Structure 1
Amino acid sequence: MTNTPSNDQSFDTSSEQLTLIEQLKQVELFNGRAAMLGIVIGIVVEGLTGFGIAHQIGLGALFDGYAACRTQFLPFCF
């Protein structure tokens, strides 16, 4: 009779783990789809405006070289 509570407890733990794994799969699927959608939107906007994705999110100065040197984002100049 003492084995029954431990078996029930391990069953609850394994069912909780399966539930968490299922939720994790759903969340990761959503994150992957959101990332793909974001990249596609960024590429489309780049094609329409000519500004790269770094410029769209405000990090263009870090990749421009001269602007990065002038604003002292980088310790060296190109």
Structure 2
Amino acid sequence: MTTTPANEKGYWNRATQQIHMEQLKRVELFNGRAAMLGIVIGIITEGLTGSGIAHQIGLGALVDGYAACRTQFLPFCF
């Protein structure tokens, strides 16, 4: 059975860490681009339909003061 020397083991740890960081950077870049695209689509849809992003995703009752106070989602009423 062969064993890896300590310096070679450290090399593989650094190489693995570097690969992991490169993958993490790509994933974070993709997530950021997807979030920006989602916001742009929401704003365009808001401009076309007149309903805000909160209404588009079904949270309009939280924004409309009356419904929010009646269902007690907010600690204050308008």
Q: Same fold (TM over 0.5)?
A: yes
Aligned partner of 2:43 in structure 1 is 43
Q: What is the DSSP-based 3-state SS (H/G/I as helix, E as strand, rest coil) of the residue aligned with 1:74?
A: coil
**What count of residue pairs does the alignment treat as equivalent?**
75
Aligned partner of 2:18 in structure 1 is 18
Q: What is the DSSP-based 3-state SS (H/G/I as helix, E as strand, rest coil) of the residue aligned with 1:73?
A: coil
The Cα shift of 1:72 comes to: 1.8
The Cα shift of 1:46 comes to: 0.1
Aligned partner of 1:75 in structure 2 is 75
Q: Which runs of 4+ in 1 moved over 3 A?
A: none
Gap runs ≥5 in structure 1: none
Aligned partner of 1:52 in structure 2 is 52
AA aligned to 1:68 is A
Q: Output the CA distance in 1 between the equivalents of 2:76 and 2:40.
A: 33
Gap runs ≥5 in structure 2: none
Q: What is the DSSP-based 3-state SS (H/G/I as helix, E as strand, rest coil) of the residue aligned with 2:5?
A: helix
Give the superposed CA RMSD: 1.1
Q: Output the CA distance in 2 between the equivalents of 1:76 and 1:43.
A: 28
